[in-house]
Copies of this chain bind each other. A is one copy, B any other.
Amino acid sequence: MVDYFNGRVLLQPNEIPKEWVNILPDLPSPMTPLINPMDGKPAPPEMALAIFPKECVMQEISQEPTIPIPKDLREIFARSYRPSPLHRALGLEKSLGIEGDDIKIFYKNESYSPTGSHKPNTAITQAYYAKKEGLEELVTETGAGQWGSGLSYGCNLFGLKCTVYMVRISFIQKPGRKILMEAYNAKVHASPSKFTESGKKFLEKDPEHPGSLGIAISEALEHSLKSEKIKYSLGSVVNFVLLHQTIVGQEAKLQLAKVGITKPDIIIGCMGGGSNFSGLMIPFVKDKLHGKLPDLEIIGVEPRACPSVCKGQYRWDFGDTSMKGPIVKMYTLGHSFIPSPIHAGGLRYHGMAPIISILNNNNVISATMHHQTEVIKSGLLFTKAEGILPAPETAHAIKETVDQALKAKENNEKKVILFNFSGHGFFDLLAYKQYMSGELEDYELSSEEIQKALSSREMPNIDESQF
């Protein structure tokens, strides 16, 4: 049936994209600025430059349609794991009772990186620029540990120090991720820690404090200000991180073209901060905005326990829980919102990338949400059908893909569906165990809870007329 490529499309190292795709100049409404929480005005570049590597700050605001990927960086990708494979999900199609070529499901497999997800695409890049400008260390926070291990790997490649503040509850529950980070030479602290003033405050109240992503961000930010040679690193949300991930969508486009597909119908990705979803869809969105793919549907998938876009407001809010970082315009459930402890730790973020927020607000893309039991059920179906066990985050995209494929089958429609297989679930087997033994719980967020989080007196008011 598909013996022309055996269900998997591989590229050669010289086919790694030579530039990143910048969506900023093409957005249907202008990019919103970062706001300084001190005065409510657009933050000057110096503010970002104090926190992030310089080249990343330039990319954050660049209006160039494409930004070249340095040759030596491309070579590092080629040596380690890129290009990644594109699979036709023939096993999944079969298990859904789909025959023939009317409905085709493809997935871009980002799980074949050394740390098991798409995260190294930006981690290596940030470490590369940090090394180039003479920095000595990058510091970040991590929840479940996927981003922390990505950055540890990236820093280690360039001999940079890496410090990771890991939410204490995950630090205890997921020892594997911590050991992996340490194997890459990183220093991993359970957060709250005794190493920062922000951490100490919480430890004084409760020596066994379970921590939160908000507290870990505060600690990482404070740590980054210790020296000019230390900068802060983010694994999602901001423009330059999404930019670095566009390597994924460009490869997928090339791979689809090699099997004669230039117009996929539906593109799907899970979204927490938005980086893996954006990485896949931005190169296609660009074509859609230029009129080349007018009918393309692009769907971001959230957990029902943390549906920032599906149920939040599009408004100004803090990116971090502790209100230290900049204020951004985005879909948010309120920065004080603490999501339920679902297994998809990477999707437990109260806000959403501004780029995704603008695209959704302009109806270029759409969002949907699912419960974790139905998500893990789809993940298990996928494991049996395709042989690869997805991370709980990734399984959100799979659930939506399954639904879309079955809908198309029911309606006798022809559809090409592409989703991002963002990571494997070897560190998340507990979720599958709980599902198989009937112990997995769902968390539905009530409108009252959302209303309460969004009406907190700490929500910022920004006067947009002034800029």
Binding site for B on A (CB under 8 A): 3, 5-8, 10, 12-13, 75, 78-80, 87, 90, 112, 114, 116, 153, 156-157, 175-176, 179-180, 182-185, 380, 383-384, 387-389, 426-427, 429-430, 432-433, 436
Closest 7 A-B residue pairs measured CB to CB?
A: A6-B78, A7-B79, A114-B387, A179-B429, A183-B383, A176-B429, A426-B426
In the assembly, what is the distance between CA of A211 and CA of B324, in Å? 55
Name the residue on B nearest A8 (C-beta): B79
Residue in B5, B80, B156, B426 whose CB lies within 8 Å of A384: B156
Report yes or no: A112 in contact with B114, Cβ–Cβ below 8 A. Answer: no
In the assembly, what is the distance between CA of A381 and CA of B79, in Å? 18
Report yes or no: A389 in contact with B180, Cβ–Cβ below 8 A. Answer: yes
Name the residue on B nearest A387 (C-beta): B114
Shortest beta-carbon distance, A310 to chain B, in Å? 29
Report yes or no: A387 in contact with B13, Cβ–Cβ below 8 A. Answer: no
Report yes or no: A7 in contact with B184, Cβ–Cβ below 8 A. Answer: no
Within the oligomer, what is the number of copies of this chain?
Answer: 2
Report yes or no: A79 in contact with B6, Cβ–Cβ below 8 A. Answer: yes
Report yes or no: A183 in contact with B384, Cβ–Cβ below 8 A. Answer: yes
Report yes or no: B79 in contact with A183, Cβ–Cβ below 8 A. Answer: no
Report yes or no: A6 in contact with B10, Cβ–Cβ below 8 A. Answer: no
For A436, what are the chain B residues with a Cβ–Cβ distance below 8 Å? Answer: 179, 182-183
Report yes or no: B7 in contact with A78, Cβ–Cβ below 8 A. Answer: yes
Report yes or no: A75 in contact with B380, Cβ–Cβ below 8 A. Answer: no
Knowing A79-B6, A180-B389, A433-B175 touch, does A185 contact B426 (C-beta < 8 A)? no
Residue in B10, B185, B380 whose CB lies within 8 Å of A12: B10
Residue in B6, B13, B184, B384 whose CB lies within 8 Å of A6: B13
Report yes or no: A185 in contact with B78, Cβ–Cβ below 8 A. Answer: no
For A179, what are the chain B residues with a Cβ–Cβ distance below 8 Å? Answer: 429-430, 432-433, 436
Knowing A179-B432, A426-B426, A432-B183 touch, does A10 contact B7 (C-beta < 8 A)? no
Shortest beta-carbon distance, A379 to chain B, in Å? 9
Report yes or no: B429 in contact with A8, Cβ–Cβ below 8 A. Answer: no
**11 examples of A-B residue contacts, CB within 8 angstroms:** A6-B75, A6-B78, A79-B87, A116-B426, A156-B387, A176-B426, A179-B430, A180-B389, A183-B383, A183-B432, A426-B427
Shortest beta-carbon distance, A154 to chain B, in Å? 9
Residue in B13, B114, B153, B182 whose CB lies within 8 Å of A5: B13
Residue in B78, B157, B182 whose CB lies within 8 Å of A8: B78
Shortest beta-carbon distance, A314 to chain B, in Å? 38
Report yes or no: B10 in contact with A10, Cβ–Cβ below 8 A. Answer: yes
Report yes or no: A383 in contact with B10, Cβ–Cβ below 8 A. Answer: no
For A426, what are the chain B residues with a Cβ–Cβ distance below 8 Å? Answer: 116, 176, 180, 426-427
For A380, what are the chain B residues with a Cβ–Cβ distance below 8 Å? Answer: 183
For A182, what are the chain B residues with a Cβ–Cβ distance below 8 Å? Answer: 432-433, 436
For A7, what are the chain B residues with a Cβ–Cβ distance below 8 Å? Answer: 78-79
For A6, what are the chain B residues with a Cβ–Cβ distance below 8 Å? Answer: 13, 75, 78-79
Residue in B8, B13, B116 whose CB lies within 8 Å of A13: B8
Shortest beta-carbon distance, A17 to chain B, in Å? 15
In the assembly, what is the distance between CA of A429 and CA of B414, in Å? 46
In the assembly, what is the distance between CA of A8 and CA of B114, in Å? 14
Report yes or no: B153 in contact with A387, Cβ–Cβ below 8 A. Answer: yes
For A384, what are the chain B residues with a Cβ–Cβ distance below 8 Å? Answer: 156, 183-185
For A180, what are the chain B residues with a Cβ–Cβ distance below 8 Å? Answer: 389, 426, 429
For A388, what are the chain B residues with a Cβ–Cβ distance below 8 Å? Answer: 114
Shortest beta-carbon distance, A185 to chain B, in Å? 6
For A5, what are the chain B residues with a Cβ–Cβ distance below 8 Å? Answer: 13
For A12, what are the chain B residues with a Cβ–Cβ distance below 8 Å? Answer: 10
For A78, what are the chain B residues with a Cβ–Cβ distance below 8 Å? Answer: 6-8
For A80, what are the chain B residues with a Cβ–Cβ distance below 8 Å? Answer: 8, 387
Q: Which of A6, A153, A384 has the most CB atoms of chain B within a 10 A radius of its CB?
A: A6
In the assembly, what is the distance between CA of A432 and CA of B179, in Å? 7
List 9 extra interface pairs beyond A112-B112, A156-B387, CB under 8 A: A7-B79, A8-B78, A8-B79, A156-B384, A176-B429, A179-B429, A179-B430, A183-B380, A426-B426
In the assembly, what is the distance between CA of A380 and CA of B181, in Å? 12
Shortest beta-carbon distance, A116 to chain B, in Å? 8
